[in-house]
Amino acid sequence: MNIEIKKVSKTYGKKSVLRDISFRAQGGRCVGILGGNGCGKSTLLSILAGVQRCDSGEFLYDGKNLFDYPMQRSELIGYVPQGTPLIEELNAYDNLLLWYDKNSLKKELDQGVLAMLGIDKFLKTQVSKMSGGMKKRLSIGCAIAKRPPVLLLDEPMAALDLSCKQTIIEYLSRHKERGGILLLATHDVLELELCDECYIIKNGTISPFLYEGDIEKLVKRL
């Protein structure tokens, strides 16, 4: 399994946010997408997820352009945006029912991924009353309902406590071990350690960056 982003471009009015963004990722790998605020990281992930349209470009999965096959894209791609894509008035269980059938939901809560994420401990909690960590774990739980091989995550651990970060890191590590692909927009050091390769988006273009634990070097490039 491999994916390839080819010459993805996006313009808002006269501002070119993304210009010919191209890179590849193979199964079992995590690609970090880095850059300053407003550089286009979130825009890129939302385009790949199908939330926005690009002006031009391709998103290839084993050679097939997913931009032309939205139904297949929804089965192959899981997306966790920076915000919370949950229904605030519902509790965790009812939000999950929008994505899972009852049998598979019970199985995942008993001994599957949802149990690993600890969602079984706050099933009856209304989203509006949840902590940021609960919301993020529930968002991930919803995104992986179809067990998509490719996960797009937009700063998934921003403002979370260390315990919650470790839980999410454990799940993402397992996803890689199973041969899945992660595309991760991030600034978090823990998340960077998950990445097998990194790219920086700056002034609308993308370039590779070798992260070797040197945060100062990274900050200078952003």
Could you report the per-residue pLDDT of 9-34, keeping only the tens digit for each?
A: 999 988 999 999 999 999 999 999 99
Torsion (CA) 136, 128, 89, 135 in degrees, nearest 10: 10
Give the pLDDT band of residue 84 (cuts 50, 70, 90): confident
| pLDDT band of 213, cuts 50, 70, 90 | low
- What is the reported pLDDT for 106? 94
For residue 93, report the phi and psi dihedrals to the nearest 5 degrees: -60, -45
Per-residue pLDDT reduced to its tens digit, 37-59: 888 999 999 999 999 999 999 99
Q: Which CATH superfamily is domain 2-83+143-221 in?
A: P-loop containing nucleotide triphosphate hydrolases (3.40.50.300)
Q: Residue 17: which residues within 8 A CB-CB, separation 6 or more? A: 10, 11, 40, 43, 204
pLDDT band at 212 (very low <50, low <70, confident <90, very high): low
Q: Can you list the alpha helix ranges (DSSP code H) found in the chain? A: 41-49, 70-76, 92-97, 102-111, 113-116, 132-143, 162-177, 189-194, 215-221
Task: Reduce the DSSP state of residue 78 to 3 states and report it.
Answer: strand
Residue 174 backbone phi and psi in degrees, to 5: -65, -35
Q: CA 33 to CA 209: how far, in whole Å?
A: 10
Measured distance CA(86)–CA(83) in Å, rounded: 9
Whether residue 169 contacts residue 194, with contact meaning beta carbons closer than 8 Å, is answered with yes
The whole-chain average pLDDT of the chain stands at 90
- This model's pTM is above 0.95: no
With beta carbons less than 8 A apart as the criterion, state whether 33 and 22 touch: no
pLDDT above 70 for 222: no
Grade residue 89 by pLDDT with cuts at 50, 70 and 90. Answer: very high
